[in-house]
Structures are given as structure tokens and as C-alpha cells.
Structure 1
Amino acid sequence: MHLREESRLPDVFLSYNRNDQATARLYAEALEAEGLSVWWDVTLRSGEAYDEVTEAALRGARAVVVLWSPRSTGSRWVRAEATLADRNRTLVPAMIEPCERPIMFELTQTAELSHWRGDVDDPAWQAFVRDVRGVLARQAPDGLLPLVEQTSTSPQIAAPARDQHGEAPSLAVLPFTNRSGLPEDDVFAIGMVEDLIDALSQGVNLRVIASSATARFRTGGLPDLEIMARHLGVRYVMEGNVRRAGEDLRVTAQLVEAASGAILWTQKFERPLPELAALQEELVLDLAAHLDSQVHRMEMERVLRKPANLTAWECVTRAIAAYRQITPQSVVQAMTEAQRAVELSPEYGLAHAMLADAKATVYMWTTPDSADAIRGIREHIERALALEPDSAMVLAHVAEAFNYIGQPQDAIRPAERAIQLSPNFGLAHYSCGVGCLLLDRIDDALAHFDAELKAAPGSHTLFASYIWRGAAHVRGGDWDAAARAYAQATQINPGATSGYLGEAFVAARTGSDDEARALMIRVRQLEPKMSLADWERIIRRGLAGNPVGDAVIQHIRDLWKQGEETR
């Protein structure tokens, strides 16, 4: 039996019960015929300490093949080896005789090879070998298959090369299962996946695999998600089912991280059967919006946990994660991360767009009027548009930057182009809404804010939209609607100082003086470094071109003065 040098780690550790040794030999020899090195206890040399050598081989192997039988399931040694392999994500189990596996392994996909007697052309055997190679590919130190000779020096992880953009996360939507068993529901399940992929493809936060790549999983047993995801080149997998529940049709979907098998998100959606045809598009868009937002949130959390060797895309993702907190400190952090992305990849349009947006936000909220500052921001805007003129993400961030430097007339075109490219992109609708608002197109602004709410349900960043929505109602003189919008903003984000400021001047305008004073105290507590002049500048920028701005500022001055008198 051919073995590699003792100093080399084995490809496969074979775990079995001694009474199954004849079957284990078939597996060892067949795997070695595939070019893999196999460690099993018959290779122990005389005088070697059994426990020490076995444990070293077990921990060093990049794949652990466990042979389940009625005898091995009762072996504490096999159970212990399987447990360690499962913990190390090297476990590749096979059923060599019908038996009940230990309960902790019942949910682990296991090859059914009870019939196998050594035929290397058997399809089930070939599938099992592919599973083993899949685990080996994941565990190999440099990502190469074990058949490729490795040098004795461990490869070093290099810092990202210049111009290394990095990639957005990718998702595969598996065919939905029809739990009802009715043919008409099977048609709906297939159509649901097609429509969902189409809706997700219009987003900007992830790359979606075409349905033709996953259609083969419509029949047969459930695939091993990790191996399937590796073949498809995706990080996330979505699976779901449809079934009837009384007079409703219920769609259940869950998002799974392929590498770990962890369920990251699950949700049920129900629609009445008589109304299903009319509501199917709404159902798909609702599901796509939740899923797109969830994947982006998970990606931001993943990137934030990564300490070093970031790509430009990851730096931009960090910038977006910081930016969405919308605090003075987080926006500065977003600017820093975006600057790093530009340095890593000077030809990356999204990095320039994000840097322009972060700088413009800082300008909007903290910087006195400055032609030089605006000129510097526009340089990044123009660079971003020159590099990626047809990226919805770039266009939306550029539009937001235009708005925040007081140039909404230049924001509308890229914002509308972003919506044309990606109709369900919340930031594009937000940027278009703010631009319309600043140009006193109130009805258009409110329509875009409604579209953003539908595109990004549950997003904590919606508080900013409600603040601008409040400003739209202030411009239109609808004080009750303005009060509701500002209250919604502070409910979503209790730290939204501008929301409390809006509530304060609405309360003052409608005669609720005590409430107005209390709200202004809250504003000053949240932002102690902001002066009255700072707030006046922000209000002028937010209500630019509308006569109501002067009245709002006067209310703020009165409340500020009352606060000074009570100190």
C-alpha cells in the first residue's frame, strides 16, 4: 500500500470499527487508487504509541471518512473521531450498512454506500469521491487539490494587489419545494424562483446565479450545500418551499451560509389564494427586498470582522457599514475607509463615489460654505462617473453627494439612471427623493421615499428618509404629516438628532410650546458641540429655496434662546 512520507499530512483519515476492517480495506485501497493518501490504523508501526499517533493523524488529516455501521455507531472511538472531524469541518461520512447514526450526526449528509463492494465505476462511489475531494480542496492550505505536489514551505497570505477590487457576494436560489403536492402549486414554485432571481438581479448588493445553474437540483435528494456552493461559486444559498394553509398560500424561505450551513435568516410570507395572481409580483418583490437587505447586512458584518488584507470592495463595504450609522464619528470612519479603497484601487469607480458621498455628508452637516470643499468632492464624483457610468451603486452615491453639496439639479439625472438600471434599489430612490425635495417637487419626492420604503423594508437607515419626508411636508405646509414623519425617524433611531429638531419646530409651529422646549433640550443634549449657527446652516441647506425656511429658523432661534434663559 503506497503511503506518503511520514512528515506529510494524510489526505484522508479512515475511521471505522475493527470488525469492519475488510470493508475499510476496500475504501482505503479505492481512495488510494484515486491518488489520495490514506491513514488507517493498519499502517501503525510496531512500537508506536497507538493513541498519540492516531490523534496526530486525525488532527492532521484534511478529510476524515467515517464508516457508519451497527458496530461503529456503538464505538466510542469512532464517535469521538467523528465528533472531532465534525468540529474541524473535515467530516465525510458514509453508510456501509443500514443503521441508526448517533443523533448528533443524523442531520449530516451521509453517502449511502451500503450496497458498495468495491466497484470504482459505481455512480454513488464516484459521487462520494467528489465529496471527499471537495473537503480536501477546502482544507488544502493554498486551495489546490491534494494531487498537486506542495512545497514544504507554507504559503504566505499576501496583501491585496493594487487595483484588486474584490467581489460582491454571490447567491444561488435553489428550486423551491412544493409541500402541497398539487401540480398547480408546483408551477407556482418554479415561477416563484424565476421571478425572485429576476427581482434580485435588479439589485446591487449581490450577484445572483442564473436559474439554469440550479435547475438540476429540482429533483432528487438535497445536495450538500457546501459542495454545491463551491461548484457554483457562491457564498450564500437560498432555499424555500410553498404550501397551502387553509385559504392561503404560504411561502417559507431561508438564507443559508454555505460554508457553515448556518441559517442566517428565515421568514414566512402568506397571501390569500383568491388574490394570489394579483399579488404574486408584490410577494416576489417583498421577499427579494428582505433577502437583498439581509445579505448585505451579513456581508458588512463579515467584512467588519476581517482585521487585515482587505480588498477595495471590502473597504467600501466597511465604509458603507460605518456610513449607515449616520453619526459624526461613523461618517468620518466611512470617509477613512473609502479613502483606503481609493488608494488600493485608484481605478475603482465605487470607491470614488463612496468617498465623494462621505465627504459630501461631512460637508452637509459640519462644514461652512466652501467652494474649495465642493470642488474637491466634485473631482471624486466626476472620476466615479468616468470609471463606472452604468453602475447603479455608483450613480446613487454620486446623486447623494450632489444633493449634499447643494447641487440637486445635477443629482436627478444619475439618480433616475440608477433607478432605470435597478428599479428596486432603495438608495437610488432616496437620492432621487432628496433631489426632488430640494427642487420643491414635493409629490415626486414623497413617491420616491415610498418606493425606498418598499425596496428596503426594516432598514434602520430609513430614519433618514423619514427626516427628509418630514422636510417635504414642512415645505408643503402639512404640519401633522411632518410631525408623524419626524416621530417615525426618532422611533427608528432614538439618536436621530435632526428628527428631534424637526419635531421641536413642528411643535413650536403648532403651539405645543412645552413639548417644543423639551425636544430642543434633547437636541442640545445629543449634540452639545453644535451651535445655533450650525443648526441654522443645516436648516437652510435642507429647506433651500423654500420660503418656510426663514420661519423654521426663527422658531429654532426662539427655542434656543429659551433654553439659554433656563440654564
Structure 2
Amino acid sequence: MAGLDAADEARHSPRPKLFLSYTRADIDQAGNLRKILEANGFEVWWDQLLEGGVNYLPTTEAALEGADCVVVLWTERSVDSSWVRDEAQRGRERGCLVPVTLDGTMSPLGFRQIQLLDMSNWSGASDAPEITKLVNAINGQVAANAGESGMAAPKASPAPISSVSSAPAKEGVSRRALMTAGAGVLGAGAVFAAWQQGLFSSGDGDAFLSMAVLRFANLTGGEDQIWFSDGLSNELRQALSRNPRLRVSAPTSSNASDGDDDFAIGLALGVSSILRGNVQQVGETVRIYAELLEVDGGVVQWSESYDRNFSDVLGLQKEIAAAVALSLVARIASDRAARSSVEEQEGVGGTEDVRAYEAFLRGEALYALGPGEEIKRSALDQYDVAIGFDPQYAAAHARRANTLAAIANSASDPDEVGRLFDQSIEAARRAIEIAPDYAKGHLALGYVLNFGRMDRAGAYPHYKRAEELAPGDADTMRSVATFYSFGNQRALAMQMIERVVELDPLNALAFRSAGFVALFAGAFDQAIAYMEKALELNPSLANSFYAIGAAKLALGDDVGARDAFEAEAIDLFALPGLAIARRRLGDEAGASEAFSKLVSDYGDSGLYQQAQVLAQWGESERALAVLTRAFDKGDPGVLLTTNDPLLDPLRGEPGLDRLLLRLSS
């Protein structure tokens, strides 16, 4: 209790309270920085305040929990300190971390999605520009957290606070496929806006640069050759997105406006630079032209043409990615930092066998064609070919796992579903065994354990690892945020999904996922806004009207909810909503008709939806009995139980608590 009391007292301190995390090897710089921060109006806690005989752990923990902001000093020495990493992790979890590099060292994996303030050239003076930026960053973080907690903002410190703003930002379809597709108040708004406006700049402009990799033109001729040019641009995009100094738009948004002027696409994406090019194969020779251009003004920042043997294409891909990254990063960082950011981002999970690479790209092109089982099996064949050429090709194993899970989701025979998920787990584990730091391997295993085996506890460490390894990949972050939104990390999920829609602003699926994340976080107005944006991008997007209806039910707009459910194209989601909304509006006959149709058309495949209706009708005992059957049968809908607002009438029921324990066991 003493620790809690100390934390509560700290939160109500007259001055913003900072926790300074550092390693003892950097104590001189840390001590100087502490004095300067205190002179700027902050109360700074560091471990030199500990007196003899004081129990270190609870005292430190109380200070860490009570801090308005955690400032972590990264150096070549501190990144190896487990204490500093643990303190930084807690600051990150609480949403109050401001990371600083004192010597140009990058943040370790797991912290690179938070922009780094570069103080490697700091003279040590209290009036240096780096100090102003640090004070501004801390004030912005403190103000954002004060606003979220509902407390009064802390008193302004002598240094000015930068102005920031937070922009709001049935038949033939299997039950499991519908549920997994459907699962497919912005907590960090002020901080993210500050980040965008350069609060964390390193002295030569923004500390990161935004860019998009557009689809490379196919000059070879023939639609059957597009797979290679598309594959090359996607691989370049992935390589560049691993660089923490670059914010790279996601592939769906980058390709969403094909046919438009390239600069119009860049403006729509809100990026500062675009990479475009073309590819032509002439016999065994690959001819590639690539150019990097500023969106504002069209200035060519870098360009190069290459004629290489096809067998050299893998090395050429790395060469282009490195050249582009250096050209961009050198504008915002020292030459050393720019080269370090490139050297640290060597891809994992790849291959040196061009035949395996070619087969993999063919598989990717097939996988992207759509959800049909025949198409997915054709893609699976190509991934198997790739693995045949290179059994150590981790990316191919991970994609094989994804494809097997996708086929399982559309299968109806329980035995076949079980076999396919077993094979998917095996393939994902093989990918991780080959390349432990390959994010998509962990994501593949997390997905199949969660959706295929209902093993949330087993899936969690793999989603967490994927988050740490690929903080700049929108598709990965979208999946991780959705997973987190099912459990007790809803605030983190909201922060992550905001960045996803920033990276992927033209992708309807990104906004649909954001809508569900907001729905499960209880941010109902935001859920509606996200879903309306998703429908603006794709008016036929399944499940979007369902989420709007559920949010409107929670807001008490029963007429609006009914209208939304009537617009939902998938009966499995429309019918339960109609049964609830009609009952609320006094239409007993219509409500009974919708519920009866749900039971007759879907039977045990709709147990979770039946439980939603019964809970909302006030029939708690029946609802819990049906929900228990859904858990027993492995209904994937039960993954939503923790935060589903339609089950709120059951909160506090011992029967529900027992079921929730099964999700965490």
C-alpha cells in the first residue's frame, strides 16, 4: 500500500514529476541533465535520491508508477541494461515515455515505434536547442496524459510548450471465415500529433521522414509478368519499413490509387517522398530503373538504373533499399546515424536462392487474388516450391502457415480443419526456428494459436514479439492491435491502431479494424467514425454496419442501430442485432422472427450470437448456458467475450468470470 500511496501523491505533485532512467556508466551526463530539467520546472526522480537502508525496489517502483513522464537515456551501454529496459517498458506501457539518445545509439527493438530525440551533439549547455526540444517533448507528454486522466494539466514550466493538435484521425461462407474477417478517445493523440510536427526532431528537420513505395511498372509485357514487378516493389517497401528513421506507407494504400498521378497519390498519403520505377526482363537480364522524388516540387532526390543478371536480383534489391534509405536519412541525421540505421535493418527470413525467391513472389501474387480455396491452394503450391529450393526460407514457411490457416477457415469438415491448423502451427514454428527475429513468423503462429486453437495465452508472446520486431509495418500492427483489443490492453490497441490508419489511410480494412478496436475499447463514437470511413472506401465491406449498429446500441440510439443492422449484408451479424434493436423498440414479433432465423439458419455455428441476444434480452441464465456451449465447441466468437459491449449485461456474473478464465489459461 505504501507504494500505491507514493504513486498517488506523486500524481498530485505541484510540479510535473519525471523519472530519469539511465545506466551508471552515464551518470555524469544524467546528473547534468537532471539539474537542467529541475531548473525548467520539473521534479526529477533518479536513483541517486535513494538513501542508505531504503528498500530499492518498492521505492523505485513507486516513483516509476507515479511519474508523469519517464525519460530514458539510451546509449551504447544502457541498451544492454535490463533495469533501463524494464523502466522504459513500463513508461511505454503507461504511455508516458520520452526516449533520448545521448550518443546516437538507436532504441532497442520494442521501442522504435516511439520517436527518438537525438542529443548526441548536445554540448551540455542548459540553453542548447536540444534542451528546448526535450522540455517541449516532456511538456507535450505530460499535457497529453493529464488530459486523458481528467486531471488538470500541470503548471507550465519556463520553457514554451509547442502547440499540438490531435486529429481524429450464408451460404458458401464458413462460420469461422466470417468471424476471423470481422475481427480483422485516441490515447496517444496529442503525443502523436507532436511527433508529426517535429517535437522530437534531431536538429536538421524531422527525426523521421515519410515515404511511399509505388507499384513498379512492368515493361516486360504481358499480365503474367506483373508478379515480378509488384513483388519487387513490395519487397523494397518491407526492407525500407524496417528502418526506424522512415515512416513508410502500407502497400494497400500505396497501390490504392493506381492510375492517378504519382504526386497526387503522394499528397493523398500525406508523405514527403515517393519511390517509383520500372522493371523489364530481357532473357536472363533484369533492367530496373528507380527514382526517389519529393512530392512537393517533384525534385529528384536520387535515381539509378541497373542491368543485372536475374541471379543478382536479390542483392540488387538490398542495394536499392540501402541507397534510398541513405539518401533520405542523411537529410535528418548524421552520416554515422544514417549508415547505422541502414546497417541495422538487414532483412531476416529471406533467401539467397533466386529460384526460391521467384516462386515465393508467384505465391504472393496468387495469395493476393482473393479468398477462394482454389486460389489459396495454388499459392500454397508456390510456397512449397520455394521451400523445396531453399528449406531455410523462413518467409516462405510463415506464408505457408498463413495460407493453411486461410484454407482451414473456409473448410467445413471439423477433422480437415483440425489437420490444416496442425500443419499451419508446424509451418509457423519452423519459420520461427529458422529466423527467431522474423516478425511475420511470430504473427503467423500467434494467429493460428488464437483463432485456430483458442489459445490466447499461447498466442500472446508471439503477437508481442511481432509488435517489437515490426513497429513500422501497418499490416503487422493492425493484427497485433486487434488481438490486444480482445484482452486487457485496449488503450495500447487504440494507440497502435491510430498509427496504422496513419500509415494506411486508403485501406478500408485498416479502418474496419480500427472500428472494432474502438468498439471493444468503449469508444463508440470513434468506432462509428472509423467504420463510416471504411464504408466510404469500400461500401460493401462486411461487418462494418454490424459494428456501427453495436456502437449505436451502446449509445442508446436504437433506431440508428436497427437501420445499421438492416444494412449489414451478412445475416450472421445482422440477425442478432435486429433481434436486440427490435426488442428495444417494442417490436416483439420482429425480434422473435430475427432470433428464430438466427437459430434455424446457423444452429450451433451461431451460438455466440445467440448468447449476445439473450444477454441483451435480460435472460442471463440462458445466455450463459449458450455461451458455455460456444466455448465448449471452440466457436471463434468467444474470443470477443472479454470486451464485447453486447455481453455487458453479464458482467459480474460468476459464470462469465469462469468462462473468461478459460481464455487466459
Please indicate the TM-score interval, normalised by the length of the shorter structure.
0.3 to 0.5
TM-score, normalized by length of structure 1? 0.41
Q: Normalising by structure 2, what TM-score?
A: 0.36
Structure of higher RCO (CA pairs closer than 8 Å, 6+ residues apart): 2
- Structure with greater Cα Rg: 1
